[in-house]
Amino acid sequence: MLYLDIDGVLLLEKDRDVSHDIIKRRASHVAWLANSLNMPIIVSSQRRISDDIMILLGSLDLIDLLYGHRDHWRTPLKVDDMDDDLSVRGQEIRQHLRVVGARRHLIIDDTPVLAGQTHLDIDPALGIAFDDRARGLALMNKAA
């Protein structure tokens, strides 16, 4: 399971004037990781509640890599037994892994997740970049 955040990873605050090609290039790094690791993409971004999320993913050529489950293509909108002291994002991902019965995962996110989760930490000023491909693979090798 490849958990994908969007803001700070694919879309940056400074992107207002940037061309769609640059955003698509970032998305291509995510697609490369999903293909190389043979992991489906789960949307963990806050944008998973937005009506136009599929339009965005389609325009970035990521739709075909999405986890093909009617409900579980995104992390849960509500966490059971939420711990307010821990990362909400990390808890949503932990619950998703439990629900789908998976362990193997890589989280692409610019904000903290839970200790012990495999996290490809992205600099929100840069977004995901070419070097993150190798970094993601190395993290998975270490986690295996």
**Contact residues for Mg ion, defined by CB under 5 A:** 5, 7-8, 110
Whole-number minimum distance, CB 101 to Mg ion, in Å?
26
> Which residue lies nearer to Mg ion by CB, 11 or 97?
11
Is residue 3 within 8 A of residue 75, CB to CB? The reply is: yes
Written as six digits, the tokens of 113 are 């997740």
Supply the minimum distance, in Å, between the C-beta of residue 124 and Mg ion: 6
- Least distance between Mg ion and beta carbon 100 (Å): 22
Q: Which two tokens stand for residue 86?
A: 């821990």
Half-sphere exposure of 56 (CA within 13 A, CB side): 16
Beta carbon nearer to Mg ion, 92 or 110: 110
Question: Cβ 22 to Mg ion, closest distance in Å?
Answer: 17
Q: Decide whether 81 or 127 has the Cβ nearer to Mg ion.
A: 127
Q: Which of residues 89 and 94 has its CB atom nearest to Mg ion in the complex?
A: 89
Phi, psi of 42 (to 5 degrees): -115, 130
Q: How far is the CB of 65 from Mg ion (least distance, A)?
A: 19
Name the residue with the smallest CB distance to Mg ion: 8
Instruction: Indicate the residue among 66 and 113 with the shorter CB distance to Mg ion.
Output: 113
Q: How far apart are CA 112 and CA 115, in angstroms?
A: 9
> Can you spell out the DSSP letters for 27-73?
HHHHHHHHHHHT--EEE-SGGGGSTTHHHHHHHTT-GGGB---TTTT
